[in-house]
């Protein structure tokens, strides 16, 4: 396994963990602030939009390199 393959695998694993950790933080924030259903949905929508934007950017970069 060379350095490039290791870096790609490590980024995938740690980025997935980071996204999960951010989801837990948002859930905990919504719970502690008593945001309710609408507030919790709004918080997760904003977080989800950021994650989807990152995924779209990653896919576009890979497609444009081909």
Structure tokens at 25: 């933080």
Q: Whole-angstrom Cα distance, residue 22 to residue 24?
A: 5
- pLDDT averaged over the chain? 91
| Mean pLDDT (whole number) for 25-39 | 93
In this prediction the pTM is 0.71
Q: What is the pLDDT of residue 32?
A: 95
Q: How many domains does the chain have?
A: 1
pLDDT of residue 54: 87
Query: Six-digit token pair at 58?
Result: 């990653």
Residue 16: domain span: 3-65
pLDDT at 6: 93
Q: In this prediction, what percent of the chain has a pLDDT beyond 70?
A: 100
The pLDDT, as a whole number, for residue 48 is: 86
């Amino acid at each position: 396994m060379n350095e490039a393959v290791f870096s790609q695998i490590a980024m995938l694993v740690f980025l997935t963990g980071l996204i999960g950790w951010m989801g837990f933080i948002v859930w905990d924030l919504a719970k502690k602030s008593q945001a309710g259903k609408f507030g919790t949905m709004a918080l997760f929508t904003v977080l989800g939009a950021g994650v989807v934007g990152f995924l779209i950017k990653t896919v576009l970069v890979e497609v444009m390199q081909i």
